[in-house]
Amino acid sequence: MGHGKLRKFAENETFACLVQPSTQEVLGVDHPLKGHWASDFFHNDKPIVLELGCGKGEYTIDLAKRNPSINYIGVDIKGARLWKGAKQATLEQMGNVGFLRTRIEFIASLFAPGEIAGIWITFADPQIGRENKRLTSPRFLDRYRGFLKAGGVINLKTDSRYLHEYSRAIAECNSLDILAVTTDLYNTAADTLQTHLSEEEVKSLYEVQTFYERHFLAQGYPITYLSFKIDHEGPYQSPDWDEEAWKDEDHHAFVVKIQ
């Protein structure tokens, strides 16, 4: 491990905005902050929104700056990436930003029913051929339902048509309320995108570009956006969709094939 990562890991320990639970604190047990993020971490009663797979935290930071009446928590397992967002939030004394270093598989151990107002998933691994690891799969939607408020919304922004089409198919086959959908965000005018988002959130959707987003845009890949409510009774069903066709068209699958 390089000295740069070691330095970042050491500095991470000093950031009050960064929570790094051990496996023992979240594996089959409830973390002490579960149900108490508002009172014990943010010390206010503002709504809480998650960004899953937040990377360096660009979206988490920007959304928090634009929407001071909302608390944001960026979740990722990579400590060296989280360091950047946590350091910025610390230096700028941003009271409505938190970061959580954990595997998203453990998310149900960290948040209580009704504790979270919404979720952003930005440029997640499409997990081609591995549905149970996909962040919009029935396995994960069931976890999110356990802590999202009624009417809670999933916002998915991705360069992967495979992930986009799968997520759209799962929303449709489970009769979930799709609020907005586009397969080419930057060629879709903001005022024509039917969405639940606030004006500032729409600005973030178009104006904030993560490291990976810039990389894929430079290669000519369009960016997609999908939002849907996950209110649903009973188990979520996997969709009957043309997986092979979208796998063949997805540049992520191509990268896997040539490696």
Structure confidence at residue 228 (pLDDT): 96
Q: Does the annotation count 40 as an active-site position?
A: no
Amino acid at 76: D
How many domains are contained in the chain?
A: 1
| Residue 11: partners with Cβ closer than 8 Å, 6 or more residues away | 83, 87
Structure confidence at residue 253 (pLDDT): 67
Structure confidence at residue 168 (pLDDT): 97
**3-state SS assignment for residue 111:** coil
pLDDT band at residue 257, thresholds of 50, 70 and 90? very low
Task: Express each pLDDT in 134-190 by its tens digit.
Answer: 999 999 999 999 999 999 999 999 999 999 999 999 999 999 999 999 999 999 998
Query: Token pair for residue 99?
Result: 């970061």
Distance of CA 142 to the CA centre of its chain: 15
Is 90 exceeded by the pLDDT of residue 255? no
Could you tell me the pTM of the whole model? 0.93
CA distances from 11 to 14, 25, 80, 96, 111 (A): 5, 21, 10, 20, 26
Phi-psi region of 59 (alpha: psi -120 to 50; beta: other; left: phi over 0): alpha
Question: Which residue range(s) make up the domain with 157?
Answer: 3-258
What does the alpha-carbon distance between residue 81 and residue 58 come to, in Å, rounded to a whole number?
10
Task: Express each pLDDT in 4-48 by its tens digit.
Answer: 888 999 999 999 999 999 999 999 999 999 999 999 999 999 999
Is 60 exceeded by the pLDDT of residue 259? no
pLDDT band at residue 114, thresholds of 50, 70 and 90? very high
Residue from 125, 142, 177, 231 carrying the catalytic annotation:
125
Four-point Cα dihedral 36, 154, 250, 252, nearest 10: -10
| Residue 2: partners with Cβ closer than 8 Å, 6 or more residues away | none
Percent of the chain with pLDDT over 90: 81
Is 50 exceeded by the pLDDT of residue 256? no
Instruction: Give the containing element (helix H, strand E) for 86.
Output: helix 79-91
Question: Beta 97-101 vs 148-158: how paired, if at all?
Answer: unpaired
What does the alpha-carbon distance between residue 63 and residue 203 come to, in Å, rounded to a whole number?
9
Q: How many residues does the chain have?
A: 259
Q: Which residue has the tokens 């930057």?
A: 186
Structure confidence at residue 252 (pLDDT): 79
Task: Give the closest residue to 31 by CA, choosing from 81, 80, 73, 79.
Answer: 73
Say which CATH number the domain at 41 has: 3.40.50.150
Instruction: Give the containing element (helix H, strand E) for 52.
Output: strand 48-52
Query: Token pair for residue 162?
Result: 């495979």
Query: Token pair for residue 246?
Result: 């979208």
Task: Express each pLDDT in 37-82 by its tens digit.
Answer: 999 999 999 999 999 999 999 999 999 999 999 999 999 999 999 9
What does the alpha-carbon distance between residue 204 and residue 189 come to, in Å, rounded to a whole number?
14
- Higher-pLDDT residue of 246 and 256 is 246
What does the alpha-carbon distance between residue 45 and residue 131 come to, in Å, rounded to a whole number?
36
Amino acid at 28: G
Q: What is the DSSP string of 117-160?
A: EEEEEES----TT-GGGSTTSHHHHHHHHTTEEEEEEEEEEES-
Task: Express each pLDDT in 180-224 by its tens digit.
Answer: 999 999 999 988 887 788 888 888 899 988 888 888 899 999 999
